[in-house]
Amino acid sequence: MTDRREPPDRSGRPEAGRFDLTGRRAVVTGAAQGLGATLALGLAEAGAAIVAVDRPGAPGLTTLTDRIEAAGGSCRPVGFDLADTEGLAGLADRIWGAAGPVDILVNNAGTARLEHFNQITVAGWRELMRINLDAVFFLSQRIAEQMIAAGIAGRIITVSSKNGLMAEAGLAHYNASKGAVELLTQSLAAELGPHSITANTIAPGMLATPIADDFPLDRPAFDDAWRDRIPLAGGPGSPEDCVGAVLLLASDAGRYITGTHLVVDGGVLADQLPRLRFMPPYRNTVRP
């Protein structure tokens, strides 16, 4: 088989060429809506052929496929329930056989529930872990082995969360899953580095996505408090704000980045206590 380990030489191209994914194939899980759909569209715009994975019958898969193909790209929808842990190796083999070699895996699929610690059941804990942690590892495991066998300098990118770096009340199981994903990614980076495969996470903050729509919250009050908590002007982020981070990690531009996380949260983790709002107003000392 042709050795595809080293990415194409783009040294003579403009700087934007470093982010060009033409000729590469990206698998995106949880791609039917929200952040997953946005990341798939961004990767397709950069030139990647997309394999979009989500639950069987998810209507968003058809919509995503139509959008990518209407723009001249390639998208193959795949229906699969990622909670089927035993079937993940078969899913990877099915993708490889039907779509071809995979260069980029984006583990985006995830779930969350807002519950007090004493409301979390054994069944609920295990269900969340199957999606947020087990699927990440076992799909990455199989695809990484396929990359090694094919000599591909691959990229494994997992959507973690700021909750993998700092806890939040009401989300003990979610926090635990994302914290585990962070250390799992470092482990993969250490073992896959000798095979020229990188493993990283992006850690978004609060985004306008469907995952938290059903949380039992006083929504207007919570949204106001959350906006006040974000240092960066402009309020909460959107899925589009994560596309650049994924393109960096997926492309030649990020070839020497591995075992780390890129936080996309508007500065929330940088500000331990929102003290600024209680300080005297800012006064500019530079006179125009």
Q: What is the pLDDT of residues 138-171, one digit of tens each?
A: 999 999 999 999 999 999 999 999 999 999 999 9
Residue 282 catalytic? no
Per-residue tokens: 36: 């997953």
3-state secondary structure of 275: coil
Residue 40 has φ and ψ, to the nearest 5°, of: -60, -40
Cα distance between residue 29 and residue 159, in whole Å: 10
192-235 residue pLDDT tens: 999 999 999 999 998 877 666 677 778 788 878 878 889 998 88
3-state secondary structure of 220: helix
Cα distance between residue 99 and residue 51, in whole Å: 8
In the prediction, which pLDDT does 207 show? Answer: 86
In the prediction, which pLDDT does 277 show? Answer: 82
Q: Assign domain 15-278 to its CATH architecture.
A: 3-Layer(aba) Sandwich (3.40)
pLDDT band at 13 (very low <50, low <70, confident <90, very high): very low
Out of 76, 144, 174, 184, the active site residue is 174
Q: Looking at residue 132, what DSSP letter applies?
A: I
pLDDT band at 5 (very low <50, low <70, confident <90, very high): very low
Kindly report the number of other CB atoms within 10 A of residue 19's CB atom. 17
Cα distance between residue 77 and residue 66, in whole Å: 10
Residue bearing the bigger pLDDT, 206 or 246: 246
Cα distance between residue 273 and residue 34, in whole Å: 30
Are 152 and 4 a contacting pair, CB within 8 Å?
Answer: yes
Per-residue tokens: 251: 């492309």
Range 224-252 burial, b when 16+ CB lie within 10 A, else e? eeeeebbeeeeebbebebbbebbbbbbbb
Name which of 173, 21, 175 is nearest 106 in CA terms. 21
In the prediction, which pLDDT does 126 show? Answer: 98
Per-residue tokens: 210: 């469907």
Are 5 and 103 a contacting pair, CB within 8 Å?
Answer: no
Per-residue tokens: 203: 């850690």
Cα distance between residue 52 and residue 62, in whole Å: 10
Going from the C-alpha of 8 to that of each of 52, 115, 137, 151, 156, the distances in angstroms are 24, 48, 28, 13, 18
Whole-structure pTM value: 0.92
Range 63-102 burial, b when 16+ CB lie within 10 A, else e? ebbeebeeeebebbbbebebbeeeebbebbeebbeebebb
